Amino acid sequence: QVQLQQSGEELAKPGSSVKLSCKASGYMFTRYYISWIKQTTGQGLEYIGDINTESGGTNYNEKFKGKATLTVDKSSSTAFMQLSSLTPDDSAVYYCARGVDVWGQGASVTVSS
């Protein structure tokens, strides 16, 4: 069946980077964009951006420009999101999604010294 499998929980130090993955299965990967969403208790759900899985073209929410970098590996049907210069405000659950209908299970990122 169609699913997005995300990488596991991350514990990171302030100032470091993490790279999350989102592996697609059950459909033709390059037919759909992949979007990334951040969820925190305080800020709710926030759209980070999306990537055209065929061309690699990206669209970022202004708030996350410079924080998130989206890439894709078509050979493995996997999308990636790198978060850089981490601060405690980046602690959240991050989801990838195919359109509105298929979401990954989420990946928890905790930034703490």
Binding footprint of other proteins on the chain (CB under 8 A) = 35, 37, 44-47, 50, 59, 61, 95, 100-101, 103-106
Nearer to other proteins, 46 or 73 (CB): 46
Shortest spacing between CB 107 and other proteins, in angstroms? 10
Residue in 87, 68, 66 with CA at minimum distance from that of residue 14: 87
Nearest approach in angstroms of CB 75 to other proteins is 26
Question: Which residues 6+ apart lie within 8 Å of 67 measured at CB?
Answer: 83, 84, 85, 90
